[in-house]
Structure 1
């Protein structure tokens, strides 16, 4: 039995130096304590897929898709309506729930999700984004692109309780 981790995906080289850095990359993606179980599950799945995308780059695309599921649910709950995601994003922008800049980012993610779902795009064909290192050494553009909808869903979810801390490998 092979107990070694799988080899790193070379497309992830611009995001982090090694897999251990992936824990820092997702550290700010906190789970909202007051969110529905559906939202919590989708965000946790998204966060873990981002964490493991250094081994398989396509996991980042699946992570964005899952975080958009959570975002769609959160917006529907907050706006008390059951419309398609593009309409929810427009409505949330109109009510001031999200900024126009965030709406544009989320809409790009929504269009990617739609193209993936229609078979017009493949996560394997997507080119990795170049990461920009922040002063803390983490990859700010990677966090933004991979976790933008995840962060938005977390921020918009009800916060009746404390946000769950991101577990580290030593917690498991």
Structure 2
């Protein structure tokens, strides 16, 4: 981690990469109070894994996987779909019913494929923070969209 930088100061000098920096970033991914406890707990675990990736870098990738599981759980719970519906079916139904904004359609398809690759992997994937941060952020946005956005929003 000593080769990573945590940004730049006003003079353009590199700042140290710290666990506190990861914690600040994780804290910016809020979970709305309307999100059910089980789904919110999955997002919390994902944020904790992200922060602890400072010590075990592989946890960053595991944090993405866990955040994708939270998206799946959010859709499954909100749609009262039970356990037999596939993630593809959940995503398609959520988009058709306007439960999730259409702007997330491509990201949800990518998330579905990623979730499948994580679930059926033969080896451990290692992602960079540049890959992890946007994926984690979108997971929180989608879950918020499912539980917080009103049906009056432009979808």
TM-score (norm 2): 0.71
Match of 1:45 in 2: 45
The unaligned stretches of length 5 or more in structure 2 are 8-16, 150-155
Structure with the bigger percentage of strand: 2
Contact 2:101 2:145 in 1 (8 A): no
SS in 2 for 1:87: helix
Which has the higher relative contact order, 1 or 2, with Cα contacts under 8 A spaced 6 or more apart? 1
SS in 2 for 1:54: coil
1:153 to 143, 147, 150: 143
1:101 to 100, 103, 119: 103
- For this pair of structures, how many residues does the alignment match? 138
Q: Note the C-alpha offset of 1:43.
A: 0.9
Q: Note the C-alpha offset of 1:153.
A: 1.8
Runs of 4+ in 1 over 4 A off after TM superposition: none
Match of 1:113 in 2: 115
Change (3 A) 1:42 1:93: same
Give the Cα separation in 1 of the matches to 2:93 and 2:21. Answer: 37
Contact 2:43 2:67 in 1 (8 A): yes
Contact 1:52 1:59 in 2 (8 A): yes
Match of 2:152 in 1: none
Match of 1:77 in 2: 77
Contact 1:50 1:59 in 2 (8 A): yes
TM-score (norm 1): 0.65
